[in-house]
Amino acid sequence: MPKRSGMLDSTRRLLIGIFEDEDGVLAATRAARARHLNVVDVYAPYAIHGMDRAMGLEPSRLPWVCFLLGLSGAAAKVWFEYWTTADNWPVNVGGKPWDSLPAFVPITFEVMVLFAGLSTVFAFFLVSRLWPGRRSRLIDPRITDDRFALVIEQTDAAFDPEEVSRFLQSHNAVRVEERVEEGRG
Amino acid sequence: MKLDFQPPRRTLRLLQGMAAAGALALAAGALVTPQRTWANLLVASFLLIGLGLAGLLFIALEYVTHAGWSVAFRRVPEAMACALPCGAAGLALVLIAGAGIYPWTHEPLHGFKGWWLSTPFFLGRAALYVLLWVLLGRSIIRTSRRQDADGEVAHTHRNIRTSIVFILVFSVSFWLASYDWIMSLEPHWASTIFGIYNFAGLFASGLAALIILVSWLGRSGPLRGFVTAEHLHDLGKLYFAFSTFWMYIWFSQYMLIWYANITEEAVYFVRRQQGAWGTLMVLNICLNWVIPFLALLGKRAKRDPRILVKVAAVGLAGRWLDLYLMVNPAVAPGPPRFGPIEVALAAAAAGIFVLAFLRGLRGAAPVPVEDPRLAESLAYHT
């Protein structure tokens, strides 16, 4: 998830380092943060172990969505089963009491898993701004194949693109380019 | 590099005292209240056998799945396997001297059950199970230690093959063993899921013991610097999963019996729901699942040994209670009893387990130094 500094619709000047392997981009990300550069995001064809720590990402809040929605799903299902079998249209099954909790457990469990799973996936799509019809904005087409990109934002006047370029190249960046990103919502 | 880890004198003396107290309680109890004593010896022995088998099963699973992450602490489950012969010795005492706790020894059954539960066949089977476990376990551990000396990859391949055999043998023999030694205490009751139920308890408790021992050796012993929060994190995940699996199987057994409500099946839970037994049944679920589940749901608790070890200790207490609830209501009707015999034999099981573990560590390098997957394990990132 990109960290944004300043207003949403301001123009951003970005410096992009393209790397050939995961060790290179991992080391460069660590070093960039040690130099207090503003790491906007890192793009890779697959998940890189340890990258979250190298980027200093905060722990995801998705587990909370999973936990709370799972709990609500389970509660709603227990209520629904009680309502259908004991309240609205009592059904006698094998002489068991109307509100036979043990019989509710398997379905409650399944619905809890369903709610927890689906809500986590949808919450993930939502916070990642992924929905049908959305145009992808690739920083470089090859990050879906065999390249890794480290994106650094030029935050203030003290930022020296020349020097940061040399820094990225010293970490085996195969290409460094500057890009101006027009403001967008 | 040999491993000569000795815990502080005081700890050793405490462990030996626990074992000695168990022996005293066993001798006195066998004379005064034999039924109750044999029942509790069965609980303690089955617990020890289970922990030893869980160690072997863990190693075997890691070999057959070509897992690298756990190699750094493989000496710990290897040493856990030393609890197996100790448990087998206690079990032999129950099956030979205390066989009276099995109702079928004094009122013979008929048909297939009568043939299956006849003393010579019963004892022969028990000997066969233990023999197979000990021989296969020994082979795996010896091969793992031989690799320390010559570093041959062939040892890893050989252990993968032995592990496959062990898993196949274990899955059948432990299933039958739990039928023989525990379920036949109530020979007219039958539950086909009983073997999986016992396997779930065995593996969850084995992982709990593994967590405690790995963090102990990692903090103040020879594994310092070798095991990290990453290893504990994955052990915590496994324990969390198998604790939940235990609950799943527990409920599967309960719900089918509750739903069908057939007299000869339901009697098992009717007996265990009366009076204080009912409270213990709820406590059993709390110790084995509710507490571990809620405590280990988050990531932090699984990486923090102070939390993880406490939760694992709760789980081990839960394993004892689970076995107590399988055995004691069948042998000694009436309200649950918790006195010097129960305490002494449970403490003896704990003491003997740690002493056997320390013995198992002797004479080997603290980590499998020549294992081809050691580097992967040391650099592991979950």
User: A12-60+137-181 domain in CATH 3.30.70.260?
Assistant: yes
Distances (CA, A) of A116 to A58, A104, B36, B136, B190: 22, 18, 47, 43, 36
The confidence band for B143, taking pLDDT boundaries of 50, 70 and 90, is very high
Instruction: Give residue B131's pLDDT band: very low, low, confident or very high (50, 70, 90).
Output: very high
Arithmetic mean of pLDDT, B80-108: 95
What are the tens digits of pLDDT across the range A123-158? 999 998 888 888 877 888 888 899 999 999 988 777
Among candidates A156, A136, A180, which has minimal Cα distance to A15?
A: A180
Interface predicted TM-score of the whole assembly (ipTM), two decimals: 0.78
Tokens 């502080």 belong to which residue?
B8
pLDDT in tens, B290-307: 999 999 999 999 999 999
Q: Where do the CATH 3.30.70.260 domains begin and end in chain A?
A: 12-60+137-181
Predicted pLDDT of residue A7? 44
- Average pLDDT, stretch B348-353? 97
A83 at interface of B, judged by CB pairs closer than 8 A = no
Whether B1 maps to a domain, the answer reads: no
Average pLDDT in the B221-240 region? 94
Kind and range of the H or E run holding B158: helix B154-181
Considering only CB atoms, A105 lies closest to which of B251, B297, B298, namely: B251
Question: Tell me, what's the pLDDT at A42?
Answer: 93
Per CB-CB distance under 8 Å, the chain B contacts of A67 are 297
Chain B hits for A94, Cβ within 8 Å = 259, 261
Q: Does A67 touch chain B (CB under 8 A)?
A: yes
CB contact under 8 A, A102 and B258: yes
CA within 13 Å, CB half, B88: 20
How confident is the model at residue A158, as a pLDDT? Answer: 78
> Nearest Cβ partner of B255 from A67, A94, A102?
A102
Query: Between chains, do A94 and B259 touch, taking CB under 8 Å as contact?
Result: yes
> What local confidence, expressed as pLDDT, does residue A185 receive?
42
Domain count, chain B: 1
In a domain? residue B13: yes
Identify whether B287 is part of a domain: yes
Q: Which structural domain, as residue segments, surrounds residue B128?
A: 9-376
Q: Per the domain annotation, does B116 fall within a domain?
A: yes
Average pLDDT score over residue span A8-27: 85
Taking an 8 Å cut-off on Cβ atoms, the answer to whether B261 and A94 are in contact is: yes
Q: Given A49, A102, A105, which is nearest B381 (Cβ)?
A: A49
